Each structure stands twice: as structure tokens, then as C-alpha cells.
Amino acid sequence: MNSTDLVKSISFRQTEIINWILRLHAPDHKIDCDPTYSKGLFYRNTGIEEPAYKFDLEPQFDDVIKCDCRNLPVDDESFSCIIFDPPFLATKGKSLNADKGNVINKRFTVYPTEDELHRMYAESLKEFYRVLKSGGILIFKCQDKVSSGKQYMSHCFVMNEAVKTGFYPKDLFILLSKNRIVADWQIRNQKHARKYHCYFWVFEKIKGNSLPTIYANHWNYNK
């Protein structure tokens, strides 16, 4: 082996990061469940094996089951590895309906408020904890952003909620972007650095009371 075989924490290629995670952390080196399958871009022409269980709130394919990721129609401890790519935007702005509005909001699913968006994250984490086997892995893709002039460090919120739920934050990968969609108004009104990265958290469902002390003490974790 040489340095090219080393799993790194950062890449410009999403497929490379997912393959690294599966190689390093997934019990069977594959994904069992994708609760926000959408168009299946994680798997299309990437070499990553399609999961056996595919769900989405608005399925676009016949083999994808319609359901909310917070209420999966499976038994407890069904999966060894879940990948989750939820919405990351929230706004009530005029750009949602304007003909020449924010193209970013038009491209992605948008929640009406940040509170509702982050509540969905927290509720989803609890459901994934239920359906994951002990020692199972959750791959959670998330992104920080600026909304209505305020900075939201969503990856911090996700880690905090995951730990409170009982997950161990086992690893963190950063996906870099060479280009981003930028609207004119974002340049005129810029108050924070434009985000050219997103995150892939790797959370492990901990067995029993084995959450590392630094996390257990911080959150008064007691299961």
C-alpha cells in the first residue's frame, strides 16, 4: 500500500468520499437503506451499489417506496448502513415564487423555517437510531448556510442531536466544490463567506453505554 490508498477527510469528488466511508466504516461495505433516494444520484454511473431499501417522500421511480424518513416501514434494528441526504434550505422569501428569484431555492426542496428543518433532522436521527443495528452506521450529508442574513452551522447542530440520540460521531468528511450557483443579490448583500463545501458525518449506533465519556458527560447521556 502507498499514500494513494490512504482514506482522506477531504475530496472534490462525492463518489470518492462515499466509497472511502463504505471501505472504512460500513460493516458490509455497502448501503442498506436510502430514506431520501430522490433521483438516485449517489449510485448512477458511480459504481456504488444500490441499496435494497429505497424510500422517498415523492418517489420518482417505481421501485422506491413512498414514506416519510421519520417513519420508516421497517422493524427495529433492520439495517447496518443508512445514507441520508436531506433538504438543507429554509426560507419564506419571495424568491420561492418569483420568476427571477433565487435559483438555488428553486433547485432544492425548501422548508418554510429553520426550526422546522432542524426539527426534521432531530426526528430523523431518532428514527434511524431505531432501525439501525447495534454498531450500525449512519452517513448524514449536511451543509452550513446563510439564510436571511444569519449564519446556520447545521453540521454542528446535526452532531449535537446525534450525540443526544445516542450516536457516536465516528468520522467527518468534507466535500469541496469548485463552483457554486451564485445569485446577483448574494453578491450585493454578502455578509458571510459563501460556502464551497458540505459535510458527510459518519455516526455509529453505540452498543449499550459505551458512548465515549467526553460525549456522555456533556449530554448527560444515560441509556
For residue 223, being part of any structural domain is answered with no
Residues of the chain falling short of pLDDT 50: 95-96, 98-101, 103-108, 222-223
Our CA angle for 42, 18, 214, nearest 5°, is 130
Give kind and range of the element (H or E) at residue 136: strand 132-142
Contact (Cβ atoms closer than 8 angstroms) between residue 211 and residue 159: no
Is the residue at 124 inside a domain? yes
Quote the domain boundaries for residue 27: 3-218
Residue 207 lies in a domain: yes
Q: Number of folded domains in the chain?
A: 1
pLDDT tens column, 24-33: 999 899 999 9
Name the DSSP class of 25: T
For 149-196, write each residue's pLDDT tens digit: 778 888 999 999 999 999 999 999 999 988 766 667 666 777 777 778
pTM exceeding the 0.75 threshold for the entire prediction = yes
Please tell me whether residue 70 adopts helix, strand or coil conformation: coil
Say which CATH number the domain at 207 has. 3.40.50.150
